[in-house]
Amino acid sequence: MTLSNSQSVTVQQCTRPYHQILPWLRLAKDTSRHRGDSVIRCRFKGELSCGTSWQDLVMVTISRFTPIQLASTILVFEGSTLATFSTDTQLAMCRMAVENGALSAVCQSSDALFHCQADARRPSQISIAEFGVNQWRKRYASQWKQALEQEFDVSAMMPVICAPSSQRLLHPVHSVNYAIIGTAMFAPIEELRKLASLCDGCTLASGIAGIIVFQSRLMLEHAKEEGLVKQFELAGFQWCMLDELPLYFYQDLAFGFCAASFDLASEALYTEQTYLMSSSQVMLTALNGHL
């Protein structure tokens, strides 16, 4: 039996909405997913030692979980150490945790609480939602009651050094030829000020090429207004935009050991001679000439 034209149209109209509504079904599933997720309260105490950064705190935290555990874990950063960090730095910690596989991450500033997670509609972007502390805890009441606590002694932490292709710790090499510091989403302007204070009155070690990589023109102009770019230039650093980094990388970077910040983990730095570490550690490496 053959279908009439009106019947064929009816069949098409019945099948097309399914494909159109499927993405919204996935979004609805993702928004209700928090009911089965676990909450881990990461409590940091103590003061950061020289060469250790907030980036090391994030890497040490996520190294305690497997990728499968991270995918269903909400990390809550708290403790006396974070009280010395600005809200931007705490948000950068949350963004870095999500970028490295955590389902979401939370930081608290005064009475406000910020919840960061990958955008369900645009997985490459991270959304930030602001809640009242009590409001957030009511929303995740069951997970909060069963939340596990992990304490970290920050003063005993050592700088994290790993390969771009994995998060496993590596034995450091004795010397490096390149030091590349990124200013992507993991490095707020406070981090640039800290780096400028580290290199104030110092110069790059002999035989090391140092590069500061800016993600946006806005951050570059902000750094120029505060005189940070001038301080980096006096110390012997070059600077470039993120899209200009391959011009430096593909020259002869692959023929020497390179120290790069965690911000550049997704860039073209996947060589056996590349080591990822915090921005502060890269700066100290560039000034000392070795790890």
Q: Are 41 and 148 in contact (CB under 8 A)?
A: yes
Domain ranges of the chain: 33-156, 178-288
Distance CA 166, CA 172 (A): 15
**What are the structure tokens assigned to 7, written together?**
């019947």
Distance CA 32, CA 260 (A): 38
In order along its 291 residues, the chain shows pLDDT tens digits of 444 444 433 333 334 343 444 444 444 444 444 456 889 999 999 998 877 889 999 989 998 888 899 989 999 999 999 888 888 889 989 998 998 889 999 998 777 899 999 876 765 678 888 999 889 989 898 889 899 999 999 988 888 888 766 555 555 666 788 899 988 666 678 889 989 999 988 999 988 889 999 988 888 999 999 999 999 999 999 998 888 877 666 555 556 788 888 888 776 555 667 888 889 899 999 998 876
In CATH, the number for domain 178-288 is 3.30.499.10
Q: Are 287 and 259 in contact (CB under 8 A)?
A: no
Q: How far is CA 34 from CA 15, 68, 116, 148, in A?
A: 31, 15, 13, 16
Distance CA 191, CA 183 (A): 8
Could you tell me which residues are beta bridge partners of residue 148? Answer: 40
Phi-psi region of 59 (alpha: psi -120 to 50; beta: other; left: phi over 0): alpha
Q: Are 130 and 108 in contact (CB under 8 A)?
A: no
Residue with the two structure tokens 């650093």: 237
**What are the structure tokens assigned to 19, written together?**
């494909």
The CA-based angle 244-250-255, given to 5 degrees, is 140
The length of the chain is 291
For 167-191, the DSSP string reads: --B-PPPS--SEEEEEESTT--HHH
Choices 3.40.50.970, 3.30.450.20, 3.40.1060.10, 3.90.470.20: CATH for 33-156: 3.40.1060.10
3-state secondary structure of 48: coil
Give the pLDDT confidence of 102-145 residue by residue, as tens digits: 999 999 877 789 999 987 676 567 888 899 988 998 989 888 98
Q: Residue 218: which residues within 8 A CB-CB, separation 6 or more?
A: none
- Residue 290 has, within 13 A of its CA and on its CB side, a CA count of 5
